[in-house]
Structure 1
Amino acid sequence: MANPSRLRAAALTTTTVLLTALLAGCGQSAEHVDVTAQKLEWSDCPAPSEAEGGGSAPSPLPNGAKWSCATMKAPLDWARPKGDTIDIALIRARASGPASERIGSLVFNFGGPGGSGVSTLPAFAGDYAALRTRYDLVSFDPRGVGRSEPVKCLSDSQLDAFFQQDATPDDGAERTDLLKRTKGFNAACEKNSEQVLPHVRTTDAARDMDLMRRLLGDDKLHYFGISYGTELGGVYAHLFPDRVGRAVLDGVVDPTQNPEQSALGQARGFQLALDNFAEDCTSKTTECPVGDTPQDVKNRIAKLLGDLERKPIPGIVPRQLTQTAATNGIAQALYSKDFWEYLTEGLEQAYDGDGKILMLLSDSMNGRGENGEYSNIAAANIAINCADEKPRYTADQVERKLPEFRAASPLFGDYLAWGMLSCTDWAVPGAADHPDVSAPGSAPILVVGNTGDPATPYEGARKMVEALGEGVGVQLTYQGQGHGAYDSKNKCVQSAVNGYLLDGKVPKPGMVCS
């Protein structure tokens, strides 16, 4: 079953690896420990854990420099700062330039919530080589994620079955089944991770980052947040405005929306991305293999999904491609224009009865590796969102909203609307309707919005700027496609971001790159 919150930031690393290949107990009892007195002990990085997505230990950087990893102890409960602790996994690549030009550490959060920064930063370090000339690049597994006391819910085989099931009920029996499965998943999370569930809120992660800043030896937090990482960055700025250094928020979550508004915005965003994909495919000089016109492309996709509901097709043996898995895979491919070719190929194959590529894309969204093992991105995502978000929706409320969601997106409307049930019967109450990111007195924060972003629609960048407060948020617009802007490699965007992070040059508010 998919949910709208997880769509907020899929882990693109897994997609790339999969497609290339085929085409802790919680804190020890530590009463009276002063976590601010600890010293980080850096050593060679191990291979990523199953919860981080598995794989090999990170390869050396192009200049031969090695990655280093450390474990930071943070209070399990920040209301009891000298109580039990939780281990937070960190990774670092030292600055490549002269020591005299080093600014400090640049801390990354790549989104989710639930993505492992320890496994993601090495995969994309090449994209940030310019920033490494003056910064140590640092990332981490937020609490509840990866090696930082991962939230555990279902086993791998149980997750295989869970993600195969129908997430868009069409009648009372299917609705009852969806509610039963949601309740069962959430009960498993409580059973297996009861101690950590109350302590994985974004405010907890923001306080962890401030401790991290201190232990890294920085007076200010220099920060690069992507997708959900923009929400985390905004919350940090709210809590510690005087400690914000140079910060960039890219692929911006709208901090003013409740979960329903966010899901509806995503429905519009993914529909826009689908429209753009269909237009791009049919406008090329070569024939588009999945439709003759943009509307024909969308009609054929809708027919495919309807057919899959009645009769799934072979996917990755022994699993079959269901309607839900196909929708999930299509959504994953719309995160980046780089994946549109995979979407085209996947649709073409699915029309011929082969669901392998669409299932690979769906697996990536859900954090499933080639070996059948899942990272804990899905469990952590739900745990963090449900701890953060106060609303709890009922099936009746969702059904009343279906016409509005379907109007926003005929393809993704039902899928995203029913995903609002993810926090039903969750063990921990949600903190608020939406995060507080007001940060009067903060240093300027560069807020980068992408007009074609499906997961965090462009309007969210303006809302973030307004919410941060006058004189804090500085908006940069990228007229492009995909989730986020800096990783598009657009020279204008990268020049503006690098100029700010490396030289402190704040772009003119309202700057536009295309």
Structure 2
Amino acid sequence: MTRITRWAALTAVITLLAVGCGSSGDDGKNDGTALDWGRCKASGDAPAPGGDWQCATLRVPLDWSEPDGTTIGLALIRAKATGDDRLGSLLFNFGGPGGSGVSTMPSYADTAAELRERYDLVSWDPRGVAASEGIRCRDDAEIRAAESSVDGTPDTPAEERAYLEDAADFGRGCQEAAGKLMAHVSTTDTARDMDRIRQALGDDRLNYFGISYGTELGGVYAHLFPQKVGRMTLDAVVDPSADAVGHARNQTRGFQLALDNYLKSTGRDPQEGSREIAELLERIDAEPLPTSSSGRKLTQTLALTGIVLPLYSKSGWPALTSALRAAEKGDGTELLALADGYNERDSSGRYGTSTHSQRVISCLDDKQRPTVAETKKLLPEFEEISPVFGAFLGWDTAGWCHDWPVPGRHVTPEVSAPGADPVLVVGNTGDPATPYEGARRMADELGEGVGVVLTWKGEGHGAYGSGSDCVDSTVNAYLLNGTVPEDGKVCS
């Protein structure tokens, strides 16, 4: 099912490289701390990353309550520091949950080039993701069928039944594919994996850069291991005080704000422009648009997904303008191409699985399960916030984890980290997916003297590497030299 992801991966707007990893060899039960770095392997149609990239597999317990029990393999990738004054490793998580760090790290290397002078750049596929026991809940044919037949904003009892039946079917597919792993892919499980990675890398403390969902993961790690926190940066921050409905509400506001800013940049009134887009979506709901893509049609859900993708980065705004103009003229080709990019659909019709992993992880994390009746009470509020995104994200509260096979673990994550070294929390005032307010709330929950907020008055999902010399130099000074900025510093 195509959805706006609640904690969207940075990989939605980065070109991905699909790579495999070498193995540490031992498939038995071990302490998981030995890494045998070797050449990365090609995966699928994509070649392995060249240059200095190395891959390895780390064994960790399937169930952290049974540390000597069955293990699973985590795929890691690294590039060694280029300078002589090495500080250690810097571990990256690019978001999701469900984003592949092994695929994304080489694409991000240019952005992190200055950091690489003193750090080994390291990332990994978290448990349940890609090369780390990645979970695939549906095959390509099933994804295509749901994409064309399931309405993400059901208008009739029949559409509601189809929507909920599809959600339940997706969960059953995940359970069948994941088996025992289904109950052991929580954020807490992955945070414990991170500490095992730290040990395997030989670092006394964890130096970490978390983006989007990676900020929640970093906060949970800091709570579990406050004395092991090294230099930690959290960018595009998930609000740790929000429950599942709160996250949907935050994203509704965030995407509408990004759309308003986009419309202003084109000289249009945001209220009028949003109304026109909402009316376009209603027309597409009634009659999907033709496209030049092998007979495929642009449904309302696909159209909305196509609108979402270019809002992640200001550089995508011209593509959105062109796609909306074409759709108004009756051609859905460009919006469909944008939706395919978000949904990881390649030219041969194959789909990626990051959204599968995302759903498995987030539904294990989230205890809250709104009913259809509860969701319908929320819809007027959501539609008032955003005539474009409100209904879709409102319905998502009921459908995302509907009839899920395993119970959720908590309502909100615990991220308090008393005694931890300062954590740099970076918020972007124009972030659509993780609205700015989450940065201050993360800093507050980390605790006094721990969370330090850096604000960028910019656009797009994330601040570092997005065009602000002020942000980049502040983050680099912190990670490379330990220079902690004044709490509340603003980059405009």
- 1:35 is aligned to 2:31: yes
Identity among equivalent pairs (%): 51
Q: Which moved more, 1:369-378 or 1:496-505?
A: 369-378
Q: Is 1:213 equivalent to 2:202 in the alignment? A: no
Distance 2:145 2:75 in 1: 30
* 2:127 is the alignment partner of 1:146: no
Where does residue 7 of structure 2 map in the other structure?
A: 8
SS in 2 for 1:8: coil
Q: Give the CA deviation at 1:405.
A: 0.6
Q: Give the aligned residue type for 2:313.
A: S
1:465-512 deviations in whole A, cap 9, x for unaligned?
Answer: 010011100000000111110031210000000000000000111000
Question: How many angstroms apart in 2 are the aligned matches of 1:449 and 1:429?
Answer: 32
> Aligned residues, how many?
483
Residue 290 of structure 2 is aligned with which of 309, 314, 332?
A: 314
Which residue identity does 1:510 align to in structure 2? G
With structure 1 as the length reference, what TM-score do the two structures score? 0.91
Report what 1:263 is aligned to: 248
Deviations 1:117-150 (A, max 9, x none): 0001111210000000000000000000010001
Aligned residue among 451, 460, 464 for 1:486: 464
Cα deviation, 1:164-191, whole Å, max 9, x if unaligned, reads 3211011222111111111111111111
How far apart, in 2, do the equivalents of 1:68 and 1:219 lie?
A: 22
Correspondence 1:64-463 to 2 at 5 A? 66-98=52-84, 101-164=85-148, 165-282=150-267, 293-315=269-291, 316-420=293-397, 421-463=399-441
Q: Which runs of 5+ in 2 are unaligned?
A: none
Task: Say yes or no: does 1:56 pair with 2:42.
Answer: no
Which segment is superposed worse, 102-111 or 337-346? 337-346
Partners of 1:230 and 1:251 within 8 A in 2: yes
* Structure 2: distance between partners of 1:305 and 1:56: 39
Name the amino acid aligned to 1:231.
E
Does the 8 Å CA contact 1:14/1:369 hold for their aligned counterparts?
no
Root mean square deviation, CA, Å:
1.8
Q: Is the alpha carbon distance of 1:278 and 1:212 closer, same or farther for their aligned partners in structure 2, counting shifts above 3 Å? A: same
Report which stretch shifted further, 89-98 or 162-171: 162-171
Partner of 1:286: none
Q: Does the 8 Å CA contact 2:364/2:407 hold for their aligned counterparts?
A: yes
Q: Tell me, what secondary structure is at the counterpart of 1:334?
A: helix
Deviation for aligned residue 1:397: 0.9
The one of 471, 474, 495 equivalent to 2:452 is: 474
SS at match of 1:114: coil
Q: Does the Cα contact within 8 Å between 2:6 and 2:247 map onto a contact in 1?
A: no
**Structure 1 unaligned blocks of 5 or more:** 19-23, 61-65, 283-291
Distance in 2 (alpha carbons) for counterparts of 1:376 and 1:198: 18
Conserved in 2, the CA contact under 8 Å of 1:29 and 1:83? no
Deviation at 1:11, TM superposition (A): 4.5
Q: Deviations over 1:417-451 (max 9, x none)?
A: 11112111111111100100000011110000001
Q: Which amino acid aligns with 2:31?
A: V
CA distance in 1, matches of 2:364, 2:283: 37
CA distance in 2, matches of 1:159, 1:386: 19
Q: Say whether the 8 Å CA contact 1:7–1:455 is kept in structure 2.
A: yes
